Structure 1
Amino acid sequence: MLSLPVALAACGGGGGDDGPSRTAPVAKAGAAQTVKMGSVVTLDGGASVNGSEGGALVYAWSMTQQPPGSGAILSAADVMQPRFTADMPGHYKASLTVSDNTGASVPDTVTITATTDVPVAVIEAPGQASLGQTVILDGSGSVAPTGSTGSLQYQWTLVAPEGSQAVLNDAAAAKPSFVADKEGRYQVTLSVSHNGQASEPRQLEVNIKTTNRPPVPVAKVLTAGGAAVTPTNDEPPYRYQFERGVPVVLDASASTDPDGDKLSYRWYLFHNSPGAGYSVVGLSQPQASRQSPEQVFAGEKMTFTPDVSGDWSVQLIAFDGTTTADTSVKFKTTKPAGVPNSKPVARLLPPEAPRDIQRSSDPVWLSPVSYDVDGEALTHYFRWVETPADFTPPDLSEQHSFMSFTPTKLGKYVIELISEEAGGSKLRSDPELTELTVKDAPNRAPTAITTIKIQTVLIGDRLVFDATGSADMDGDELFYQWTLIDRPDDSKAVLQNSDKIASYVVTDKPGIYMATLVVTDSKGARSKASHVMYARGQAKSKNNPPVVAAAGQCVDGSFHNKYTVCPDFALGSEDQPIVAGVQVRLQANGVIDPDSDNLYHLWSLEQPEGNGSADAILSQSGLIKVEKPGMYTATFVTSDGMARSEPVVKHFKAVERQNFPTLLLEFNATGAKPEAAQPGSDNVRIQQALPHSHQIYTNFNAASNWNKSLFYTLTAFGGDYTVTGLGTSQSGDGTGDGKVYVDGLENGQIIRQGTSVRFALRDTNTSPNTDAEWFFEIQERPDFRFHVKNGFKPKK
């Protein structure tokens, strides 16, 4: 990047002599080096050249690439000749930029290759994980002696804490795993061998921490009108039925916490979740009730009086000091016996709904919000009272659920609504007149939108409620009104900036903080009052950071996820690089927050120049383009807003197809049904790793008479390869009416360097509940095993 003076000079000035041209300094990072692993490498920028303005050169070095498992760091970044130790075999890249009075140079890069005469074990695994989590160990980055061929053999050992029953699922695999069943430190050791020569053992500790288990809330009705009531069902959420108008006591005393933590409770008449959004009021006729839907009740028991017949749902949230969990209790209230029938109330629109309508050739639909406190179903009758003189009103006599008209004429429209009980009494409401005005430019009500970017904070931190997404369709200025409707027991927190687009509280106690939002435009129209727009967060006194079990990359088969095999992240090594020109999925597995906090994910990508993929992905999984050959470094980290996980760094290599070093396996597929591809056809090919072990399930549809076939291609690079141990098997209820075989590949077949063989895995069984298996090995690479199992199930 040019410095500011250089940039201005490049643009030139007004007439006259531009003066001598200026040249930037030139960085020279030195010649490429090949060294033995363990050597101290000295970088040399002494050949760098000053720019035209001269002055002392300032050096800026950085390490841009290093092998998996390397902890190499530069001795200094601002000297001519920094040093580092090549602690792992593989490629290191260092970048140098120099600057002087003229400005800064473009970077120059040097590559250092470290070789080894012995195999080297490399372990990648999370430094910490949660109790009960499956911990994946990765030794696939281990390195054979430089220049050698053949595969590595792996030998893992695990030392678990006292009392643990944890064992490795396969101590000879490149990527074994174990289930952490006890809290404490687990020590893993890996030794790799090659042609009888063993590496030095490499050790790693994985620290297992207890996960806070969420509470288990249980909400019941204790009494209604002073009498005990029994639920109408046996499992939560419990349901009840009783008469309206009597005090109801709701009870949370049956709630438990698996960790024995003390619980606090909140009861809500509107249902909400962590974060922000539009609430669902737990009442079938909220417009009929005098109970405010924004009421919040604290304590193990809640008492209130349902004043409307109908269906109620009350939400209970339990908080253990770290994590919340919710449930609900539902009940139906009925009109008390002997109480006179109440007349329904007619209402065409909610009170806050705008009465101005845009002139249009499209119909306007109006659905009444009438109510009946006795819970009776209603039939509606509409009548025109007044319309513009040049408007021909439609007949409303047959419309009893809603009404519609097309507002083509400007002016005043008055509609009468009468609502009638559909039951035997046929009791009618008083007439309700609603005046609407059709305009060319009516003022439209604004929309309130709430967000909360960080949902959980530590006590003493700010919890910010944000209304940035709120909008007015007419472009009017908006005015905001936040109301704090909930805070923890004994909290003295006060809402700050309650009339601003972003409001906040400084948290002082652990628990839930909730605010609601109403927006009003400069002409007085307000957002829907019948909808509760809320933002909910929480504070806690201590935090456990999130953990990540594994992360990595796989070639994406986005048209059908069963052909994207991500769990082992095997592709991208020196032995099996990714063939450039594909999409690669970055995937993080086993991402857990011990406190169940909301997580914010980040993949960051370092890529070869000109590759053109995004440098960041804000999700647990995402696609990148791998179009250029070279080294890629993808780093995954997640945060709960208070602490970050340990970063998982994955290095992977891409090459042009003609430079692939060994035997290349690809799945052949096309379109939405990969099985429709045929050997020899020009179809989509998805690179697969070797060894290849894959299990899928095919749904069987007898009407289609569709037999199962899966298609692959093997292409030989770097030598010839011999197929051995080729075989098939079948088992299950439907065996015997067809056969399982490999088409296009034979036992003992030699795949010559530079040639490809397309083959199909066939299964002609037509009965459901059969399993088929196909398998073979490669003589020159015993580790290149192929095994596919296809389960055949009835289509539902």
Structure 2
Amino acid sequence: MISKTALVGGMLGLLSACGGGSSGGGDDDDTPRDNENAPPTAMIANLVSPQPLSAQLALDANASTDPDGDALQYQWSILTGPAGHNASITDAVAPLATLVADVPGAYTIQLVVNDGTVNSAPASVSIVLTNTVPLAEAGADRAVDLQPGTPLNVTLNGSGSSDADGHRLSYVWQILDTPEGSTVILNGATEVQPTLTGLDLPGTYTVGLTVNDGYADSARDQVQITTNNVAPVADAGNDIGGKQVGDSVTLNGTQSSDFDGDSLSYQWAFTDNVPTGPLPALDNATSSMPSFTIEQKGNYELELTVSDGELSDRDTVWVNVGNTAPVANAGSDQVANLGDTISLSADASTDVDGDRLQFSWSILTAPAGSSADISDPNALNTGFTPDISGTYVVQLRVSDGETDSIDSVQIDVDSILNYAPVANAGSPQSFDNPGVQVVLDGSASSDPDNDALLYSWSFKSKPDASMAELNGADTVSPSFIADTAGVYEVQLSVSDGELFSINTPTVIVTVAENTPPQADAGTDQSELILGATVALNGSGSNDPDGDTLTYQWSVTSAPAESQYQFSNSTVASPDFTLNQAGDYLLQLTVSDGMMDDVDTVQLSVSDGDLDGDGLLSSFELDQGLLPNAIDSDGDSINDGLENEDGDSLNNQWEQTFGYRIDLADSDDDGIADGDEDFDNDGYSNQVEIDAGTDPTNPDSRPVSMADQFHFEIKSSPVVAGGQLIYSITAGNLSEVDTLSNLVVSMTLPAGVSFNRFGNASLDSSGQSGCLANGFCDD
């Protein structure tokens, strides 16, 4: 902005230049004349600062004025700028001009306008131009084909990099990442288009580019060069020769490779170039090293396909199987009598290739003077008749058309007639289970001359897993343990000491798999009465194979402190005795000698009130009577609730069996002892086992007995010191009522023995103590 003082000064200068006033001494008057020119005023439109260097900075002088209205002329100029700049102003004499700057920094722009006569005072404006950071462009990512053993060069291109300010750029390329082990280098790293030289390994190569406009570095850009997947290389190995039928062949594809390091999958298969017939099984055909067993001669071509998951490759290998020589077998040496016809057989000769065999028999040696000859020298089975006693050696030659094989057999001919024995291995046998002993029978073998026989047994075949061996293989009846299910074929050869049997018969022994037995311990038994003998029943157990079973009974669980006993724990149906109420779990194990099975049976034993008359069974006077369930006189009152004898007790409490004790009146009170309640427990004496005990409580066991009591012997005869099981049926008891049908046991006192069943009495005078069941003698 031009100041007011400057404007006035300018105007005065203009006037002075144009002259004015007179020499005649006119007045010194500073007032301008009407015809004097007024200087114009330069005005520059406001500019925003700072601005990017790349901007086209418009300069506007349209606000400049001239008081006289004169047309203005414009002159733009750059007063100051950054060092080294080459900025310029386009249209520098127009009201609208443009500043073209090349260097960032502060610029001062000046404007002077002229009205045709005089210049204005200069106007100026300052502005700061800032640099724009350049942009690096390393080019698009690429995928390239890289072949093994052929390094690849790739040219990079940074020409897409730019600078908004138009500055010249410099380039810096840098390798950021390569596959491990790569020796790639970067040539021309400061050029726009450098070369990535020697890509040698599969993978991704990353290169970064940074550009500079002379003032600032760009952000780094990067480009990735990725190698395309390369197909793997299949290598089925070298061709294999020199193999024969029966050999195992292992193929080898381990030299197959993948340039990219990918995991490979393998698939082997026979091609169509194989011998006619079924193909052998190829074991592990998806491994790098499968195998197979040669079954026939010829040439086999196999193909290996390897894959990396995307691409695959194939290779083939030949397996050459040559001819295998046959094996001649002229049979066993023989002993014969003069005049016998000697049978020769090449039937045991073999050829693993399955080739058709040709046979040729000939007599190599014979006794002097013999003219014997083979009847049919080219037959499989032939013979001759010796004409002189002595030794004959016969040779067999077999040929498969390519190779030969020979064998010989010796025949010793005796002038004394001797006939070969005949072997008989017996009849076929079969068994249901392994583990049985098999006894063979060669007793049907015979000798025409009745010579004593020598026996030779051997296995011709047996199950693969069997380890069976013959015991007494040189006897008429050897044996072996058939340890595995399957078929056993045993052959027998017999000799009379000179000649072997010309036949070798076999016997077949078939052993089936064993089936486990099935245990059946019988049905559970409940509501058993304590003291009764329990009959167990395992007879329902069976064995599907019909094997003989063995039995073993045991107790799995029983009431605490209980005592029990089997009459015989190794039979199918033993008796079981016990001494305490509760639940008993018994187990039956049955075995067929090889396998076992188990079953259980539950016994529930009670000493409770079985007949519902209010008294525990062990305290019954006459167990089994149900006085409350009968109305014998039809008066609608059950017998147990009546009082027919007029005493103080209903019938249900009356004694009904044995020696009555309710007749005595020991205290002379007019009431029979049996009707009294000495211990005031609510039960009359006649129903109590012992005064002071509770007949409804199973734990109230002790009784007092008189010196002599009656009983019934239930057990077998016993001697002193043994256990006696008895049933009290009557007795002379003191302070107790009669016991009826109560089964108890005791250990006999010294000097006491029993040798019969039936009723008896025991005098225990002078003895005291408790019997084994808790009953006491006082």
Q: Fold conserved (TM > 0.5)?
A: no
Counting strand residues as a fraction of each chain, which structure ranks higher? Answer: 1
TM-score interval, smaller chain:
under 0.3
- Rg larger in structure: 2
Structure having greater relative contact order (Cα 8 Å, sep ≥ 6): 1
TM-score normalized by structure 2? 0.23
